[in-house]
Amino acid sequence: MTAVEPFASRLDFGTGILRPSSLVLRRNLSDMANVYAEEVARRKLIEETGDTLVYQVYVVELPETEGHLLHCATVIHPGRVGHEYFMTKGHFHVKRDRAEVYLGLVGEGHLILQRDDGTVISLPMGPGTVAYVPPYWAHRTANTGAGPFAFFAAWPGDAGHDYETIEEKGFAKILVCRDGRPALVENPNIR
């Protein structure tokens, strides 16, 4: 295992910003090709409003190896692509038998989880919600509120991120706004 000196970070519970963070990952609408069911709506939104920031991730850089506990804070901005809420890309863990824990900090959102067999569930999240992502579940989060939605996440250092499976297959269900409320519906692009 790679040796690391003890350290402390500061998590702002009002904004979701983690400091110091050695890496801030930014995902704009242009980075989200084929993530939303309505790809035409995503491209049209970019044309109309510009390359809007969807979310950023504040990462504390640690070795991605067994024994370490990786963690980050994510802030998803409010917005929708068509009827779908702004969300993270979503991923499985490369080592599928690894779990993850989320802690809601500010705003309103949903944690969307899917197994390989296509089973999809959605868990509402808000400040103080602790959500458990069991092994073998893909996961993504969506902002369902009017302001930023932020959460803290922690997972084993050797878990890895498999974004490709989700990019290729998508989620069997998507989270949309129906009558002003979040609703999980069948993904029209998956047959």
**CB-facing half-sphere around the CA of 79: CA atoms within 13 A:** 20
φ, ψ of residue 82 to 5 degrees: the values are 65, -120
Judged against a pLDDT cut of 90, whether residue 21 lies above it is answered with: no
| Cα–Cα distance for residue pair 64/61, rounded to 1 Å | 9
Mean residue pLDDT of the chain comes to: 95
Averaged pLDDT for residues 71-98:
97
Strands (E) across 127-189 are located at 130-133, 138-143, 149-156, 173-178, 181-186
Averaged pLDDT for residues 65-70:
94
22 confidence band (pLDDT: 50, 70, 90) = confident
Q: What structural domains does the chain harbor?
A: 10-186 (2.60.120.10)
What is the reported pTM?
Answer: 0.95
Task: Quote the pLDDT of residue 1.
Answer: 65
What torsion, rounded to 10 degrees, do the Cα atoms 65, 137, 181, 79 define? 40
Averaged pLDDT for residues 88-116:
97
| Cα–Cα distance for residue pair 22/164, rounded to 1 Å | 25
CA–CA–CA angle 7, 88, 118 (5° rounding): 115
Percent of the chain past pLDDT 70, that is, above it, reads 99
Task: Quote the pLDDT of residue 101.
Answer: 98
pLDDT digits (tens, 9 = 90+) for 27-62: 999 999 999 999 999 999 999 999 999 999 999 989
